[in-house]
Structure 1
Amino acid sequence: MAGEPEEFALPLSRAANERLHAMVPGGAHTYAKGDDQYPEGLAPVISHGRGAHVWDVDGNRYVEYGSGLRSVSLGHAHPRVTEAVRRELDRGGSFVRPSVVEIEAAERFLATVPTAEMVKFAKNGSDATTAAVRLARAATGRARVAICADHPFFSTDDWFIGTTPMADGVPPATAALTVRFPYGDLPATEELLTRYEGEIACLILEPATQTEPPPGYLTGLRALADRHGCLLVLDEMITGFRWSEAGAQSLYGVVPDLSTFGKALGNGFAVAALAGRRELMERGGLRHSGDRVFLLSTTHGAETHALAAATAVQTTYTEEGVTARLHALGDRLAAGVREAAASMDVADHVLVRGRASNLVFATLDEHGRPSQEYRTLFLRRLLAGGVLAPSFVVSAALDEADIDHTVEVVAQACAVYRKALDAGDPTPWMGGRAVRPVFRRRV
């Protein structure tokens, strides 16, 4: 495990980060993995992972949370998944015609998510959500898209990125076609639909995030969409499998027109899915008489090894009760962290939020305001204790010993947090500049 904070340094990771920045804009291929998200000089570069643990190039082992930005929910190198992938690697990965693996993957998906009637696979979630938006526009003949204002990310494409602080390069006219509605507020959403009557193609949102949907909210949203002639699109990139293997739509009893899945679907392998009603999905197919919609068409969208991984993931979830395990592990972790924070008298400042299978933490300053400075202090102590945790999102590979170790390290971090609160200044414990939000206008 990593050493004490005063001794803790990552010289090889630091050098590797410099090499990355010299060649890769931002030093990572995903902004959320950038070294600006970690304390200065303490952004580990990963050598390998197994189960719930990863090792950095400096030789430190960590208990890892938020694995692969929530994509590796079974744990790294899960044997059932890697076996399925290896089996396909020797049989070829991509052909000039569909593989039988595409049939098997589609059948498995539609059996797992029974609210969907057709499915099309892709390599990433952005392509899937953008295809949903394009299909909604085609089906309704409308240009505007309404996104949930309380959900942080939907796509790397212009229709969404134009609404963020990093909108440089997006034509203003494109960004103006996307409007926002608040989560959980049906009257406000109806007011938006009325204001843009006949203009909004779809409502797109995550079914839930850090709070459960208010009673009747999703069914009410379904009714609003029907009444105003727009589509309801559920982004299940995070909620799919973590809430239920059949999606949060199954858990909450709502049937969307379209939904998108990814992340946990491949346990780290690149696969996403657009699913929905047959009459809509077929607009991107060959068995209809209307204008054709260019739905999804990617060279690598049906790589056999990735689809085999998805099939193995879904089988594992259903046969081994993975979703229930994720909730049990999250419940244990949340209880432990809250107890540790209370024992150090920082329970009002270090908060655990969200569904047990998808926990995040908040770091508040002495005035109760969210603080990147206190987050920096907290992350630094976690890293030094061998816990890599940009969130507290669990994987099924964790065991009770991992949770207990994490809680012990959190308690140590909270003790330092208390000192910083008493001093009214976390700077002496930050070790350098504060971590930064992903979406910001300037570097």
Structure 2
Amino acid sequence: MRGTQAPSLDGHRGFAKSIEAQARLHDVIPGGAHTYARGSDQYPDGMAPVLDAGEAAHVWDVDGNCYVEYGMGLRSVTLGHAFAPVVDAVADAARRGHNFSRPTLLEAEVAESFLDLVPTAEMVKFGKNGSDATSAAVKLARAVTGRDLVAVCRQPFFSTDDWFIGTTEMNAGIPAAYRDLTVSFSYNDLDSLRAVFESNHGRIACVVMEAATGTAEPEPGFLEGVRALCDSAGTLLVFDEIITGFRWAAGGAQSVYGVTPDLSSWGKAMGNGFAVSALAGRREYMERGGLRTDLPRTFLMSTTYGPETTSLAAMKAVFATYRTQDPVAVMESRGQALADGVNDASRRAGLSDFVTVVGRPSCEVFVTRDADGVPSQAFRTLFLQELLTRGVLGQSFVISAAHTEADVEHTIAACEAAMIVYRKAIEAGTTDGLLRGRPVAPALRSTAHPRREP
């Protein structure tokens, strides 16, 4: 796409055009990005690349810098940027018209293909984003049970809608009455969920959770215990498979751990970055939103763009790739090599207590601690800064099947160089004099401070 140019370790990069472009973005888009996790406040000051193109696991910014990218499309791209089978399928679908007044046969084909890959589900409905799918699951659970409360696991993110965002620090504009309808429990802690049921007897419509995260696997018996508690209380179990689906396995985390939810929400890797999501689940519940029921109907996802053929074609091509290849195995292998290499470099630099790569090999993050061993935004920013200058872009080390051995080797080498600077900061006990600008800040926070833009 951009010739043979490859990421460089030379540490000399200019960001003048990105800085100019970012200012334009802030002028017309609140926060300067359409997703908070993509905001410039998530990167070192003056070093937030504005991207121009991508191919496989490489991206180029408007200044012409090339990077190995991680966390591609906020974990949605597992097969690589501009993956030919997906691009070809999308182009072909677009040439045939991509949005009509009636369903296409493609909708049935892709739904059947999804249910074949996810045998724990009996029906599926497609949408455009994971928030809608998870919120539809909550609404359906409330309709089925006649209850109002939602029990949410204390995990990073479930939806942009009020029932979840009201539980975060960024809850301005959400009435307290909505916030009070969501209660929480802790992962791998059955007693905390049991306490939620006991203190809200007969009111919990559903339990919403990820079966696992990149950094937390279920302890033996935990998911089975959650399932049993839900069954005993007449509560629906909802698994958020937005990240785990097609990254843990094509059939999601539920197929890995052997516990079947009543409903599940899907997205991200299912379309290799194209805008698709899904609500899936048991027929007896899903039919509440259909025409084969005598019960009051539930308004599930119903969007103008849900059935548009380009994204469905992308999803069909992704499914075909997962059937004929094994992208998850590639991600697991490359991710393990990356973690081993970076952690070894950290040990050799005397930084094993301060810089570590952790998590499932297909969904890894790096942990950055200060001289006292405490997770630190300033030290994280310093690490990001040094990686960026050496051609590595990413808020994590979430890998794709497009990352090559050479990409992994480049990343390890970039980390080795970054640790020279990081060690200086640890020895000094501060990033002062090494970090250029302000530290990054949490994406969901109550004020623009400490990364307010002028």
TM-score normalised according to structure 2 size: 0.96
In the TM superposition, what is the alpha-carbon distance from 1:353 to its structure 2 partner?
A: 1.3
List gaps (5 residues or longer) in structure 1: none
Matches within 5 A, 1:31-180: 31-149=36-154, 151-180=155-184
Partner residue in 2 for 1:23: 28
2:345 corresponds to 1:346: no
The 5 Å alignment of 1:289-438 reads 289-438=294-443
How big is the shift at 1:367?
A: 0.8
Does the 8 Å CA contact 1:131/1:296 hold for their aligned counterparts? yes
Q: Does the residue aligned with 1:356 lie in a helix, a strand or coil?
A: coil
Which residue of the partner structure matches residue 4 of structure 2? none
Q: What is the rounded CA distance, in whole Å, between the counterparts of 2:28 and 2:438 in structure 1?
A: 23
Q: Is the CA contact 1:352–1:359 (under 8 Å) kept in the aligned structure 2?
A: yes
Question: Which SS does the other structure have where 1:380 is aligned?
Answer: helix
SS of the residue 1:119 aligns to: strand
Give the drift of 1:86: 1.1
Question: Counterpart in 2 of 1:288?
Answer: 293
Over aligned residues, Cα RMSD in angstroms?
Answer: 0.8
Give the Å deviation of 1:9.
Answer: 2.8
Q: What's the counterpart of residue 241 of structure 1? A: 246
Distance 1:9 1:422 in 2: 29
1:190 aligns to what? 194
CA separation in 2, counterparts of 1:223 and 1:316? 36
Instruction: State the TM-score, normalizing by the size of structure 1.
Output: 0.98
Question: Which whole-Å CA distance do the structure 2 matches of 1:302 and 1:329 have between them?
Answer: 34
Which residue number in structure 1 is paired with residue 205 of structure 2? 201
Counterpart residue identity of residue 84, structure 1: A
2:9–2:414 CA contact under 8 A, matched in 1: no
Letter matched to residue 8 of structure 1? R
Task: Write the letter of the residue equivalent to 1:273.
Answer: A
Number of the residue aligned with 1:227:
232
- The C-alpha deviation readout for 1:382-424, integer Å capped at 9, x for no partner, is 0000000210000111110110010000011111111100011
Secondary structure of the corresponding residue to residue 402 of structure 1: helix
CA positional deviation for 1:3: 6.6
Q: What's the secondary structure of 1:47's corresponding residue?
A: strand
SS of the residue 1:48 aligns to: strand
**In the alignment, which residue of structure 2 is the partner of 1:181?**
185
Which deviations, in whole Å up to 9, do the C-alpha atoms of 1:103-123 show, x marking residues without a partner? 111011000000000000000
Which residue number corresponds to residue 452 of structure 2? none
Partner amino acid, structure 1, of 2:141: A
SS in 1 for 2:246: helix
CA deviation after TM superposition for structure 1 residue 8, in Å: 3.0
CA contact (8 A) 1:207 1:249 kept: yes
8 Å Cα contact 1:32-1:438 kept in structure 2: yes
Q: Which amino acid aligns with 1:126?
A: S
> Deviations 1:201-231 (Å, cap 9, x if unpaired)?
0000001011210011111110110001100
Equivalent position amino acid for 1:214 in 2: E
| Runs of 4 or more above 3 Å deviation | 1-5
**CA contact under 8 A between 2:331 and 2:400: conserved in structure 1?**
yes
Cα distance in 2 for residues equivalent to 1:69 and 1:193: 33
Matched-pair identity in %: 56
Verify the 8 A CA contact 2:13 2:65 in the aligned structure 1: no
1:318 offset after TM fit, Å? 2.0
Contact 2:425–2:431, Cα closer than 8 Å, also in 1: yes
Does the 8 Å contact 1:2/1:383 carry over to 2? no
Deviation at 1:427, TM superposition (A): 2.0
What SS does the aligned partner of 1:242 have? coil
Instruction: Tell me, in whole angstroms, the C-alpha distance in 1 between the residues paired with 2:129 and 2:364.
Output: 23
C-alpha separation in 2, matches of 1:30 and 1:130: 18
Instruction: Using the TM superposition, give the Cα deviation of residue 317 of structure 1 relative to its aligned residue in structure 2, in angstroms.
Output: 1.3
Letter paired with 1:275: A
Q: 1:153 is aligned with what amino acid?
A: F
> Any idea what the Cα deviations from partners look like across 1:231-280, whole Å, max 9, x if unmatched?
00000001111111111101100110000110000101000000000000
- In structure 2, distance between residues paired with 1:181 and 1:368: 27
